Amino acid sequence: MKKKVILAFSGGLDTSYCAKYLSETLGYDVYAVTVNTGGFSKEEEKELERKALNLGVKEYRCVDAQEDYYNSCVKYLIFGNVLKNNTYPLSVSAERTIQAQEIAKYAMEINAEAIAHGSTGAGNDQVRFDLIFQVMCPNIEIITPIRDMALSREEEIEFLKSHGYEMEFHKAQYSVNKGLWGTSVGGKETLTSRNYLPEEAFPSQIKETQPSELEIEFKNGEVVSVNGENFEHSVYAIQKIEALASVYGIGRDIHVGDTIVGIKGRVGFEAAAASVIIKAHHLLEKHTLSKYQQMMKSQLSDWYGNWLHEALFLDPVMRNIESFLLDSQKTVSGKVFVTLHPYRFVLNGIESAHDLMSDKFGSYGEANRAWTGEDVKGYTKIVSNSLNIYHQINQNIN
């Protein structure tokens, strides 16, 4: 019997080459797997299956991991208001980690001898896939033809043609990776430090120019309602917000950061839902959490985002941080009111039963109801005591 290999299949040139090479040259039975983390429709899924079967794979499977992706990762990115370098909502890095886990599970399910992916040796994804596979199924061989043989695009095309496979080999001007939590966009501009992506590079073009109102309701930190419409799962609420906000061109930017492989990288993205939800959630937290909760959350959230980006999602400390983030959301419930405009949005305010800006205790700069002027005098006397001692003893130090 032939050995089984699981191929992480996207339908692009690299994974198409892998499918043919693994079966025709290495003699494997190829089980192609696509993990849907919110990147494509049922029609696109059928097209991927058609491509895979035409390449001669033994079996094709599409795993719908959207809800698992949200439950295990995205909701914690919301709880933590995670933006890598204060910019990027970690769209692709989060996806790859979940996709790799689903592929590893399938490989173990069918007792595969090997797992293959089409990553090159130049990016982050090779580390994300390899690391998950090595931890979850260390006895299964990892095969990476594109990376190992340093293949050029032309060599891949020639191989496919010589094995009787014809496809649209035209290279798109921009590489686009769509998912639930955002879409990455790469092109010639992102290979430089100077140029911004042109309007036509972004998949979601502006269709609305007049402002519109958006009401987002959170329950314990999770989106449960959009404009009064309730959703069975937060995945569908995210998709609703994406549909409403993407037509304004909201959530576009370019992220600059350090790659896992040690070089600086630049990638464009559009993430309308992620941008609006994170900022709306953060505003609600400003009203419903104590200042020290917010300070600790900010520090732990930065660590969480960095470890996720660096392929360390399976480190047990991530579960510890998730426990903290989950516990912090007990009072993060209420409505956030947003106005959508072309290229931007405005957070107008919130309503919450847990709003700590209650006028029962005073109005900032206007009235106090929980203390007196004498209370403040005594407080500032005590607080300033250590500072007074320091400055009096060290008067001669500049």
Determine the pLDDT at residue 40.
Answer: 87
191: its two tokens: 């290979």
Other beta carbons less than 10 A from residue 216's beta carbon: 23
Going by the DSSP 8-state scheme, the letter that residue 84 receives in this structure is: B
Determine the pLDDT at residue 140.
Answer: 98
Query: Considering its fold, how many domains does the chain have in total?
Result: 3
Helices (H), the chain: 13-20, 42-54, 66-69, 75-79, 91-109, 125-136, 145-149, 153-162, 234-246, 272-288, 291-309, 316-327, 373-393
Same-domain pairing of 83 and 205: no
Scan for tokens 């990288």, then name that residue: 265
pLDDT in 10s for each residue of the chain, 398 residues: 899 999 999 999 999 999 999 999 999 999 999 999 998 899 999 999 999 999 999 999 999 999 999 999 999 999 999 999 999 999 988 999 999 999 999 999 999 999 999 999 988 999 999 999 999 999 999 999 999 999 999 999 999 999 999 877 777 789 999 999 999 999 999 999 999 999 999 999 999 999 999 999 999 999 999 999 999 999 999 999 999 999 999 999 999 999 998 999 999 999 999 999 999 999 999 999 999 999 999 999 999 999 999 999 999 999 999 999 999 999 999 999 999 999 999 999 999 999 999 777 656 666 777 788 899 999 999 999 999 999 999 998 86
Same-domain pairing of 243 and 159: no
Q: For 273-310, what is each residue's pLDDT tens digit?
A: 999 999 999 999 999 999 999 999 999 999 999 999 99
In a domain, 242, yes or no: yes
In a domain, 356, yes or no: no
Q: Is the pTM of this model over 0.85?
A: yes
In a domain, 357, yes or no: no
In a domain, 102, yes or no: yes
Same-domain pairing of 20 and 152: yes
Q: How many residues does the chain have?
A: 398
Same-domain pairing of 143 and 255: no
Same-domain pairing of 200 and 237: yes
Same-domain pairing of 61 and 184: no
Q: How far apart are CA 375 and CA 178, in angstroms?
A: 57
Same-domain pairing of 372 and 297: no
Same-domain pairing of 74 and 114: yes
Same-domain pairing of 207 and 326: yes
Task: For residue 313, give the nearest of 132, 162, 156, 173 by alpha carbon.
Answer: 132
Same-domain pairing of 263 and 328: yes
In a domain, 131, yes or no: yes
Q: For 46-98, what is each residue's pLDDT tens digit?
A: 999 999 999 999 999 999 999 999 999 999 999 999 999 999 999 988 999 99
Determine the pLDDT at residue 365.
Answer: 63
Determine the pLDDT at residue 366.
Answer: 67
CB 186 within 8 A of CB 268: yes
Scan for tokens 């007196």, then name that residue: 372
Determine the pLDDT at residue 54.
Answer: 95
Determine the pLDDT at residue 59.
Answer: 97
Q: How far is CA 40 from CA 36, 46, 369, in A?
A: 7, 10, 55
Three-class secondary structure of residue 309 per DSSP? helix
Radius of gyration of the chain (CA): 25
Same-domain pairing of 138 and 211: no
Same-domain pairing of 248 and 124: no
Scan for tokens 């909502």, then name that residue: 89
193: its two tokens: 């430090």
**Which residue range is the domain that position 34 belongs to?**
4-171
